[in-house]
Amino acid sequence: MRLRDLTPDELASIADRRARVRDLLGDLADGAPFLDAWETVRYPGTDRTALRGLCWGHPVHGDTIVTTSVLVARGPGYAVTESGRAYVLGEPHVHVPPPAILSGRRGPGHAVPLPLSPFEDGDDLPALEI
């Protein structure tokens, strides 16, 4: 899945974040991909921590959703993984649960499907001949 292109304001915000991270990490931040809407997850098959989120500028995967390798360091605005790659971090993912359906209401455009009438069996099989 390819992510949308970033707006000029978003690109400027990323450049500001990258400059702050460069002060902490030096040259490691220069080619660092930007990871937004990130969350901590367990690296597959282990109990070690990794990050998953929307990534822009990854040198291998491009602009897509990624799960990083195992984290070795995380600080204000950055993360470094076991593979040696640094990520400039955006905002963490905020999980908002969907609203509950109250009193059987499904909302506009989501009508309850009507049951089939006895004259409509809903299949495409030919009628049974007796």
Residue with tokens 């409509």: 120
Domain boundaries, the chain: 8-89
Q: With beta carbons less than 8 A apart as the criterion, state whether 87 and 71 touch.
A: no
Please report how many Cα atoms fall inside a 13 Å half-sphere around the Cα of residue 121, on the Cβ side. 6
As a whole number, mean pLDDT of residues 19-28 equals 79
As a whole number, mean pLDDT of residues 80-100 equals 89
pLDDT band at 1 (very low <50, low <70, confident <90, very high): low
pTM of the full structure: 0.65
pLDDT band at 93 (very low <50, low <70, confident <90, very high): very high
pLDDT digits (tens, 9 = 90+) for 3-13: 888 888 988 88
121 has pLDDT over 60: no
**In sequence order, what DSSP letters do the residues of 78-89 get, joined into one string?**
EEEETTS-EEEE
For residue 62, is it left (φ>0), alpha (ψ between -120 and 50) or beta? left
